[in-house]
Chain A
């Protein structure tokens, strides 16, 4: 079981957290102006890399805050933890998928 360092509560077992998939996918600011293709990509398309991945977690059984984790999906090594509104370390090469955010 992974040990996830919640930026508010400190390290906790992963069973306390809920997973929120890929991070930095912003909801389009004007959904009505998106094409069906763009909307489908926002709704359904996610990256699935083997390696570092910026993803969202929520400390469901703790502070209930959403935050971001850069995790290596292959080794489960947690490379960075940061709050909503903050950005991954550029050195990790996990830039936001959606520049609008």
Chain B
């Protein structure tokens, strides 16, 4: 096992008493508790951690946190594996099993690296230019491209872990727990306001964790952090979320936070989920998301060992890891000097400070000279050397404007290059919230400009580089927010901060070299997507102007890091290339999530059987106990058929249909939509929403009705019963219940608010057992003694109150099968008792339960339509041949005017007809196309399609209904249904296939 050769003997926030063993590409290594995978790899002098996306160039760790573009890791195995995790964010645990990505067969020797030798073949827009023609070859190209594309492997099975969704409200949400965020939380928290402070790291402190040259209140900054966190922990209204990335900022201060609860443990815990997605509605938001250091764009700036300066410093200070013994600092600001000193303090021999500034001045520059560190002012890095690790850099003095070289090159040996290119404020959340950015020329950075939501940015993300200012602004922001919400707050004293002053930054977007850009070496801008300065310049030469187009053409900023380290450099280089300022180039859109978030976190508990709600009827336990097969109808689970041992689907359905026609059969019809309608204007209301007349319907009588939309198309159908003068019981289709309820409410509230009508959905309040067949009257008679069931006393389309099986019931004599039938409605809690009583009382009559499939066959045999199956929103009552249900005398009803449009009366509209196959045993597939003339292959002029098709045991043959152009005039014609490999001739017929006289209705 490697010996952590780069680990310092002391210092850092790791626990040297808790060594942890982990694997990287199978190699056993050791780190400490408190390490990230990145710091542990660097401790073991592992710099080469991946291959780049396009050229398969060796890549090392660039950053320290979520900005990392290179060190993408596949973690774990099997169905728990996760790709594209940033090594810089993976907390080390015992037994961690990490793999590098995008290499074959192995990281040190990678076949794909030949791409690098042929780099001239992979310019910007390579795929667009190469694979666009001939179009017929695309499927061949695609296979090859897909094999080469993508990073990492997907898990191999369903995710075994649990995820939760949290909903929270707070007065102030603070994103980021560095100095500014902590100060804001403290100021807001002390007022008693409800505060959520979330930070993506394992501990609060932000940049202070990686610096040892800042003191607050006379003690090291991390002590101040600990004090503040302890006070915040003691506040009951303050919620502290660690390992929690505020990853989305949506309308009206709605934000999401992805919290990684157990990932750092390596194993799940039974009591908590793996991750939580917080959905927070915040009164006010404080963005304290800090800043990300910019890489410098110089020739071959991607060799392993070339890192961000703050990262090199952070590994040394926070983790006690010296990334290299011979670091070279390349800086455009004072911050690079801090890195040089932090490393020098830890026995590194600094190879020099290459300062882009021509004449750097200030205390830090003086201290460098005092320490004997060579400062190479006004120099550029012109080349780098090294294969799997940086070995040397060539440097040369620049011309004053930084566009060229002004002297000869010199080689400096080094094993790490720390790049300090200045800072990009992390304005992602601000921008997501639709705040407008402004370009600050002095800081050479995009800063938050005009806010759109109730938020404020403080600290690094607002362009502040001083801890003093960050804390001061944080306190003010915290106070301002809680005061704006009406809390009284007292100003906490700002602690005294000692830190280095920061001088000027020289932004130099493209460092000059001995070679023109694009020749002999690459100037990488986007490390993750392998986009170079030459690619960007090529895009502008080819005419691209909009940054959004340049982005897509070159793919810059389109990796999983969304260009956190590359976007501003890319904008500036495009601007230079076009001869315009950065603000004229504009920015691309920042989109949520800020960092990649697992689908599991978004899904939460809405997976498996909780993905969608399931509605069941009161009789459901009986159906299950008696072997029913189920189908989904809307959210309902309905009994589909009840197979006996050894029966096929067809045999079971045929048996159920046959019993319904010859004996007595029982259907659970509870799912039918039911609406209770009351009020003095109830009858008039029905007159307006149904196509037929309702005013004269007598009490205790039922009527079938059609509802149309305003355009004249059929929306729903059902039977409605008058219970009293001002009281109706409406039924709707199972799937249309909610839609109809919404529809009726809308008209009552918005068009006819003067009407005296109240609607109540009672779908769930009534359980319905429908008995059917010639013996059903006899069965009902055995259980019901207080209703005269005789045909004259209780005629078809009537309703009676009574008692069935000692249960108070409403009994409706309506039929969806053409047989004598009673629908028995009882309060839902009695539904199962009623069902069981019917089964027991009907046992000697051969009572048979039937499911929705038999119900469909029975209704189709009679030509009864199902709205939504035989209609599709473009079908009128006339198309269905149901003109009789449309009142000619009513002055108005919903759909009357729509129906009067001349096009809806054309004879060639699609009309519902029956189809009979020549072969009576062949059942057409529903959806089959109907044509008049068969051609050898499609396209063929289509007349319509089959809407319902079954085998009818009652008719002794297959039956079908179809919507066919001009169908009503085609009766007797032969048409065709072309299917895969064969064509079925059919004869157009009426839609009633059984008992056309209706002789069976009364038993």
A residues with CB within 8 A of B = 1-3, 13, 18, 20, 26-28, 30-32, 34, 36, 39, 42-43, 56, 58, 60, 64-66, 75-76, 84-85
6 interchain pairs (CB within 8 A)?
A: A1-B279, A2-B251, A34-B897, A56-B750, A66-B749, A84-B749
Instruction: Please name all residues of chain A whose beta carbon is closer than 8 Å to the beta carbon of B746 when the two chains form the complex.
Output: 20, 58, 66
Task: Provide the bound-state CA to CA distance between A56 and B745, in Å.
Answer: 14
Question: Is the CB–CB distance between B281 and A27 below 8 Å?
Answer: no
Instruction: Please name all residues of chain B whose beta carbon is closer than 8 Å to the beta carbon of A27 when the two chains form the complex.
Output: 710, 751
Question: Is the CB–CB distance between A31 and B254 below 8 Å?
Answer: no
Chain A residue with Cβ nearest B434: A75
Most buried by B among A27, A84, A85: A27
Q: Closest approach, in angstroms, between the C-beta of B891 and any C-beta of chain A?
A: 7
Chain B residue with Cβ nearest A33: B897
Question: Is the CB–CB distance between B742 and A32 below 8 Å?
Answer: no
Question: Is the CB–CB distance between A3 and B254 below 8 Å?
Answer: yes
Task: Provide the bound-state CA to CA distance between A75 and B436, in Å.
Answer: 12
Question: Is the CB–CB distance between B753 and A32 below 8 Å?
Answer: no
Task: Provide the bound-state CA to CA distance between A26 and B747, in Å.
Answer: 11
Task: Provide the bound-state CA to CA distance between A60 and B738, in Å.
Answer: 11
For residue B242, CB closer than 8 A to chain A, the reply is: no
Task: Provide the bound-state CA to CA distance between A3 and B900, in Å.
Answer: 42
Task: Provide the bound-state CA to CA distance between A30 and B900, in Å.
Answer: 14
For residue B953, CB closer than 8 A to chain A, the reply is: no
Q: Closest approach, in angstroms, between the C-beta of A39 and any C-beta of chain B?
A: 6
Task: Provide the bound-state CA to CA distance between A31 and B751, in Å.
Answer: 13
Question: Is the CB–CB distance between A84 and B252 below 8 Å?
Answer: no
Determine the interface band of chain B, counting residues with CB < 8 A from chain A. 20 to 34
Known contacts A2-B252, A30-B892, A66-B746, then 10 further A-B pairs from the complex at CB < 8 Å, ordered by chain A residue: A18-B742, A27-B710, A28-B897, A31-B896, A31-B897, A32-B891, A39-B898, A65-B749, A66-B749, A84-B750
For residue B629, CB closer than 8 A to chain A, the reply is: no
Q: Closest approach, in angstroms, between the C-beta of B167 and any C-beta of chain A?
A: 9
Q: Closest approach, in angstroms, between the C-beta of A19 and any C-beta of chain B?
A: 12
Most buried by B among A1, A36, A58: A1
Instruction: Please name all residues of chain B whose beta carbon is closer than 8 Å to the beta carbon of A1 when the two chains form the complex.
Output: 250-252, 254, 279
The 8 closest A-B pairs by CB, nearest first: A31-B897, A3-B252, A1-B254, A66-B749, A2-B251, A76-B251, A27-B751, A2-B252
Per-position binary interface string of chain B over residues 228-256, scored 1 when its CB falls under 8 Å from any chain A CB and 0 otherwise: 00000000000000000000001111100
Per-position binary interface string of chain B over residues 750-761, scored 1 when its CB falls under 8 Å from any chain A CB and 0 otherwise: 110100000000
Q: Closest approach, in angstroms, between the C-beta of B256 and any C-beta of chain A?
A: 10
B753 contact from A20, A34, A43, A85, Cβ within 8 A? A85
Question: Is the CB–CB distance between A75 and B750 below 8 Å?
Answer: no
Chain B residue with Cβ nearest A76: B251
Chain A residue with Cβ nearest B901: A36
Q: Closest approach, in angstroms, between the C-beta of A47 and any C-beta of chain B?
A: 18
Question: Is the CB–CB distance between B897 and A32 below 8 Å?
Answer: yes
Task: Provide the bound-state CA to CA distance between A32 and B898, in Å.
Answer: 9
For residue B1000, CB closer than 8 A to chain A, the reply is: no
Chain B residue with Cβ nearest A42: B710
For residue B711, CB closer than 8 A to chain A, the reply is: yes
Instruction: Please name all residues of chain B whose beta carbon is closer than 8 Å to the beta carbon of A26 when the two chains form the complex.
Output: 751
For residue B452, CB closer than 8 A to chain A, the reply is: yes
Chain B residue with Cβ nearest A14: B251
B892 contact from A3, A31, A84, Cβ within 8 A? A31
* Given A58-B746, A64-B745: A32 and B896 interface contact (C-beta under 8 Å): yes
Chain B residue with Cβ nearest A4: B252
Question: Is the CB–CB distance between B896 and A39 below 8 Å?
Answer: no
Instruction: Please name all residues of chain A whose beta carbon is closer than 8 Å to the beta carbon of B710 when the two chains form the complex.
Output: 27, 42-43
Instruction: Please name all residues of chain A whose beta carbon is closer than 8 Å to the beta carbon of B254 when the two chains form the complex.
Output: 1-3, 13
* Given A27-B751, A32-B892, A58-B746: A43 and B252 interface contact (C-beta under 8 Å): no
Chain B residue with Cβ nearest A85: B753
Task: Provide the bound-state CA to CA distance between A70 and B11, in Å.
Answer: 60
Chain B residue with Cβ nearest A30: B892
Most buried by A among B711, B742, B745, B750: B750
Instruction: Please name all residues of chain A whose beta carbon is closer than 8 Å to the beta carbon of B279 when the two chains form the complex.
Output: 1
* Given A32-B897, A84-B749: A60 and B742 interface contact (C-beta under 8 Å): yes
Task: Provide the bound-state CA to CA distance between A56 and B749, in Å.
Answer: 12
* Given A3-B252, A32-B891, A75-B452: A43 and B898 interface contact (C-beta under 8 Å): yes
Instruction: Please name all residues of chain A whose beta carbon is closer than 8 Å to the beta carbon of B250 when the two chains form the complex.
Output: 1
Q: Closest approach, in angstroms, between the C-beta of B248 and any C-beta of chain A?
A: 10
Q: Closest approach, in angstroms, between the C-beta of B436 and any C-beta of chain A?
A: 12
Task: Provide the bound-state CA to CA distance between A42 and B897, in Å.
Answer: 11
Chain B residue with Cβ nearest A36: B901
Q: Closest approach, in angstroms, between the C-beta of B638 and any C-beta of chain A?
A: 25
Q: Closest approach, in angstroms, between the C-beta of A61 and any C-beta of chain B?
A: 12
Chain A residue with Cβ nearest B891: A32
Instruction: Please name all residues of chain A whose beta carbon is closer than 8 Å to the beta carbon of B750 when the two chains form the complex.
Output: 56, 66, 84
Q: Closest approach, in angstroms, between the C-beta of A101 and any C-beta of chain B?
A: 10
Instruction: Please name all residues of chain B whose beta carbon is closer than 8 Å to the beta carbon of A60 when the two chains form the complex.
Output: 742
Task: Provide the bound-state CA to CA distance between A63 and B892, in Å.
Answer: 30
Question: Is the CB–CB distance between B901 and A84 below 8 Å?
Answer: no
Instruction: Please name all residues of chain A whose beta carbon is closer than 8 Å to the beta carbon of B252 when the two chains form the complex.
Output: 1-3, 76
Task: Provide the bound-state CA to CA distance between A80 and B301, in Å.
Answer: 55
Task: Provide the bound-state CA to CA distance between A58 and B710, in Å.
Answer: 20
Chain B residue with Cβ nearest A3: B252
* Given A1-B251, A1-B254, A60-B742: A39 and B897 interface contact (C-beta under 8 Å): yes
Chain A residue with Cβ nearest B902: A36
Instruction: Please name all residues of chain B whose beta carbon is closer than 8 Å to the beta carbon of A36 when the two chains form the complex.
Output: 901-902
* Given A13-B281, A18-B742: A84 and B896 interface contact (C-beta under 8 Å): no
Per-position binary interface string of chain B over residues 704-727, scored 1 when its CB falls under 8 Å from any chain A CB and 0 otherwise: 000000110000000000000000
Question: Is the CB–CB distance between B891 and A39 below 8 Å?
Answer: no
Task: Provide the bound-state CA to CA distance between A69 and B985, in Å.
Answer: 57
Instruction: Please name all residues of chain B whose beta carbon is closer than 8 Å to the beta carbon of A84 when the two chains form the complex.
Output: 749-750, 753
Instruction: Please name all residues of chain A whose beta carbon is closer than 8 Å to the beta carbon of B251 when the two chains form the complex.
Output: 1-3, 76
Instruction: Please name all residues of chain A whose beta carbon is closer than 8 Å to the beta carbon of B892 when the two chains form the complex.
Output: 30-32
Task: Provide the bound-state CA to CA distance between A66 and B252, in Å.
Answer: 22
Per-position binary interface string of chain B over residues 878-895, scored 1 when its CB falls under 8 Å from any chain A CB and 0 otherwise: 000000000000011000
Task: Provide the bound-state CA to CA distance between A51 and B50, in Å.
Answer: 49
Task: Provide the bound-state CA to CA distance between A36 and B745, in Å.
Answer: 27
Task: Provide the bound-state CA to CA distance between A71 and B891, in Å.
Answer: 37
Task: Provide the bound-state CA to CA distance between A43 and B708, in Å.
Answer: 14
Instruction: Please name all residues of chain B whose beta carbon is closer than 8 Å to the beta carbon of A2 when the two chains form the complex.
Output: 251-252, 254
Chain A residue with Cβ nearest B893: A31
Instruction: Please name all residues of chain B whose beta carbon is closer than 8 Å to the beta carbon of A76 when the two chains form the complex.
Output: 251-252
Chain A residue with Cβ nearest B748: A66
Q: Closest approach, in angstroms, between the C-beta of B759 and any C-beta of chain A?
A: 10
Task: Provide the bound-state CA to CA distance between A90 and B142, in Å.
Answer: 58
Instruction: Please name all residues of chain B whose beta carbon is closer than 8 Å to the beta carbon of A64 when the two chains form the complex.
Output: 745
Chain B 130-168 residues near chain A, CB threshold 8 A = none
Task: Provide the bound-state CA to CA distance between A2 and B250, in Å.
Answer: 8
* Given A60-B742, A64-B745, A84-B750: A3 and B896 interface contact (C-beta under 8 Å): no
Q: Closest approach, in angstroms, between the C-beta of A98 and any C-beta of chain B?
A: 13
Task: Provide the bound-state CA to CA distance between A43 and B749, in Å.
Answer: 19
Instruction: Please name all residues of chain B whose beta carbon is closer than 8 Å to the beta carbon of A20 when the two chains form the complex.
Output: 746
Task: Provide the bound-state CA to CA distance between A3 and B891, in Å.
Answer: 43
Task: Provide the bound-state CA to CA distance between A32 and B753, in Å.
Answer: 21
Q: Closest approach, in angstroms, between the C-beta of A58 and any C-beta of chain B?
A: 7
Instruction: Please name all residues of chain B whose beta carbon is closer than 8 Å to the beta carbon of A31 when the two chains form the complex.
Output: 892, 896-897
Instruction: Please name all residues of chain B whose beta carbon is closer than 8 Å to the beta carbon of A42 when the two chains form the complex.
Output: 710
Question: Is the CB–CB distance between A3 and B749 below 8 Å?
Answer: no
Instruction: Please name all residues of chain B whose beta carbon is closer than 8 Å to the beta carbon of A3 when the two chains form the complex.
Output: 251-254, 281
Task: Provide the bound-state CA to CA distance between A31 and B893, in Å.
Answer: 9
Instruction: Please name all residues of chain B whose beta carbon is closer than 8 Å to the beta carbon of A28 when the two chains form the complex.
Output: 897
Chain A residue with Cβ nearest B745: A64
Instruction: Please name all residues of chain B whose beta carbon is closer than 8 Å to the beta carbon of A18 when the two chains form the complex.
Output: 742
